[in-house]
Structure 1
């Protein structure tokens, strides 16, 4: 038989056979679907291991900016992955009814409960599932809901300011400001989700080690997501999940346990809401998200079950603190690195208090509605979002099977495409030649048409139907805390000459941002 003749040859010449198969695999990757016409790092066309190790280096956003500036608007990141830098691609890739779906990068970030994946709004790749889910919880995150959430945020802002005075301003102690802001953001999520701060600020510690876990998990997800198959060997190993389902393995996903523990404290109340709906008389501090998720279960009992309520709470823990803390750190850092901007913003705040635009409260806090009347504050925040957006990887989408045209490029079906906020936010034709400079005035000087184009290019919350659903909550936190903190304290860098370090673990968090505070006694 032929097999009897061929097999001995394969065994005898196995090194040559292995080398030939490897070469064939690499060449197939390189020329797959004709994507070899797009430039990039020379290894990217041959294997996804290149982008795996590049992302593992934690500086991927800078490498991608460099690649696009060197090679142009379309860069190849893997055998089947293209990055687009032209802002016009946003509407094509992320627009409604384009047939795009999320890639397998996102399920890597699924939480797990009882051996089963928790599909969240963020991580699901099923567009029909996402649409049903979003209809259930959309009202909870609408801009109109901000008025209900502001008392909850205000409560945590007040405690945060007081603890900053107690722990740092009155003692002169150095503050790891990025970490301190994450404690604030986590306690806000606790108040918004469960009407209960979680103790990060009051105790000045990482409660249950959950922040440390999240940082490790996001570091894992960022790299493993470049080759999602690896997740099936590690965190989502089918054997491990099966053993959890049948009760042999007692492994518990920490974020799931964290959210479940807090939710269980309200089990009786939540069951009543699921059965009868929210009562007409609500808490004067506002209706929290857990109550609204339970209301969604009352309104949509065929879809919004207990697992999806838990998934929604888990998502708040996952995404609700990291991105907001990064945004807050960016605002304060750029202010401190640009003293004239800092001084100009303080002048706006003082004048707003003097003319009654901002109420002269004893605790120096600023309301959401008041913050919206401060144009230079808005410019500072937008410019901080521009220079340091939270997401540091492309937001991956899969081209529909029939393929599609993206800005004159026919992209074959199944190709992963996406845009990166760091790249988009540095487009000279949109933001000016000084795109690498922190200059808030660009948001004030721009004529209406240019301002509209600039805002349409901003990508820190994504775009289209999968825009970050918690966007409004994050903006509420940022626009309230920044002016309130600045009115209460003077801030200075502990080492003014030093630059902070960034760590791109999907979200680009900051390190070595150490500050000192003192009371701003002369503020109006």
Structure 2
């Protein structure tokens, strides 16, 4: 808990403003947040997510094929790749399809125009303004931040304009965010569409890539867990009988989902979470008889810390042990699911959770089915954690992995 008198930006500008209409993340007013959230909720219903499955399956198949082709180019039919970068390219291409109707081919062409790096650099803004709220107004004038913010704005304007001109050709995420038939009969303002598009790209691509990389890292660092998962994948999706893309089957795979839960527990994509504070003018908020939060006090509930607390997860809260999620009848295992909050909790939780979990299941199962995988020779597994940086979402380093096609 920290106290900061200038905790919020004052005035009419920015996501921290009191009238931040259309800001899903920045809205402080509950009614405004609920209004923004309704549009996003429609975009992540069970039926809507079902519409997204073909888009994700196509991109996951492309990821596997691109990696297989690079193996085939090598004499030994194996290749060392930076899996961290490949998974980031996958999520960027997929979210580009979801938000802008396509146009991105990082898996095939690489980051030729630097837009992926611009998106990543754009996360410096929430990283700084989260801790020093009033600095948000100065950030555009700082060269190392301002140029990325400008490039990101130009990129979003170009893509949103193109998407609006082309119209809806499929029920993708943008179709729902555009909200062509709003309840009040008023069209969604262009600035709100822009804000939603950028939010979707940043939140959907970067956080999912981090989650995929963390899960892959833990599996590669624990060969016994990887072998156990491969047995489950092969039993559920025999290699000669198709790809692991059946969402219902994937959701029912106990060990796959235990591995995902455990990776998200140890390294949640957003390790610190957003600030909260008592309502202005309330003087304080009483959490319990022993705990009162005074007005002007910024409060964090960091998932990274909570999810490693031995009071909620034991034994070995710092160890990757997927079996803890399967030991519901073992009295020696403490597993408090109320303390498991990688997607936050409550009315402001992560609305994109269903799509993120679908991506984790499909991509991990696909990679495990198609490739033998190991960390590159000479790579110290400790480097992965050492190179993670908390810039609102985790920023990650390289993950060198040797891939060999299984068939």
Shorter-chain TM-score tier: 0.7 to 0.9
Unaligned runs of 5+ in 2: none
Q: For 1:107-122, what aligned pairs fall within 5 Å after superposition?
A: 120-122=23-25
Q: Is 1:137–1:296's contact at 8 Å kept on the other side of the alignment? A: no
State the distance in 1 between where 2:65 and 2:233 align.
Answer: 20
Q: Is 1:161–1:485's contact at 8 Å kept on the other side of the alignment? A: yes
Match of 2:101 in 1: 195
Q: Is 1:326–1:390's contact at 8 Å kept on the other side of the alignment? A: yes
State the distance in 1 between where 2:27 and 2:331 align.
Answer: 36
Task: Decide whether aligned partners of structure 1 residues 251 and 476 sit closer, same or farther in structure 2, where only a CA change above 3 A counts.
Answer: closer
Deviation of the 1:222 alpha carbon = 1.1
Deviation of the 1:154 alpha carbon = 0.8
Unaligned runs of 5+ in 1: 1-75, 82-101, 112-116, 242-249, 274-282
Of the three residues 233, 246, 250, the one matched with 1:371 is 250
State the distance in 1 between where 2:100 and 2:209 align.
Answer: 19
Deviation of the 1:451 alpha carbon = 9.7
How many residues are paired up? 390
Deviation of the 1:195 alpha carbon = 3.0
Over residues 266-323 of structure 1, what are the superposed CA-to-partner deviations in whole Å (9 max), with x where a residue is unaligned? Answer: 33443xx7xxxxxxxxx6xx51122222344555443622222222111112211110
State the SS of the aligned residue for 1:428. Answer: coil
State the distance in 1 between where 2:162 and 2:263 align.
Answer: 38
Q: Is 1:104–1:125's contact at 8 Å kept on the other side of the alignment? A: no
Q: Is 1:391–1:506's contact at 8 Å kept on the other side of the alignment? A: yes
Match of 2:126 in 1: 221
Task: Decide whether aligned partners of structure 1 residues 224 and 298 sit closer, same or farther in structure 2, where only a CA change above 3 A counts.
Answer: closer
Q: Taking structure 1 as the reference length, what is the TM-score of the superposition?
A: 0.68
Task: Decide whether aligned partners of structure 1 residues 108 and 396 sit closer, same or farther in structure 2, where only a CA change above 3 A counts.
Answer: farther
Deviation of the 1:130 alpha carbon = 1.5
* 2:8 maps to 1:77: no
State the distance in 2 between where 1:199 and 1:418 align.
Answer: 37
State the distance in 2 between where 1:447 and 1:389 align.
Answer: 26
Match of 1:461 in 2: 343
* 2:297 maps to 1:415: yes
State the distance in 1 between where 2:302 and 2:177 align.
Answer: 31
State the SS of the aligned residue for 1:518. Answer: strand
Deviation of the 1:418 alpha carbon = 2.1
Deviation of the 1:441 alpha carbon = 0.1
The structure with the larger Rg is 1
State the distance in 2 between where 1:127 and 1:202 align.
Answer: 43
Deviation of the 1:103 alpha carbon = 5.5
Deviates more, 1:398-407 or 1:250-259: 250-259
Q: Is 1:490–1:520's contact at 8 Å kept on the other side of the alignment? A: yes
* 2:144 maps to 1:260: no
Deviation of the 1:108 alpha carbon = 10
Over residues 313-359 of structure 1, what are the superposed CA-to-partner deviations in whole Å (9 max), with x where a residue is unaligned? Answer: 111122111100000001110001001101111111112235xxx99
Match of 1:336 in 2: 220
Task: Decide whether aligned partners of structure 1 residues 148 and 409 sit closer, same or farther in structure 2, where only a CA change above 3 A counts.
Answer: same
Q: Is 2:315–2:333's contact at 8 Å kept on the other side of the alignment? A: no
State the distance in 2 between where 1:497 and 1:294 align.
Answer: 46
Match of 1:279 in 2: none
Q: Taking structure 2 as the reference length, what is the TM-score of the superposition?
A: 0.86
State the SS of the aligned residue for 1:320. Answer: helix
State the distance in 1 between where 2:47 and 2:261 align.
Answer: 22
* 2:285 maps to 1:404: yes
State the distance in 2 between where 1:137 and 1:359 align.
Answer: 39
Deviation of the 1:253 alpha carbon = 2.7
Over residues 189-239 of structure 1, what are the superposed CA-to-partner deviations in whole Å (9 max), with x where a residue is unaligned? Answer: 012223325111111x225322222332323431343111122223279xx
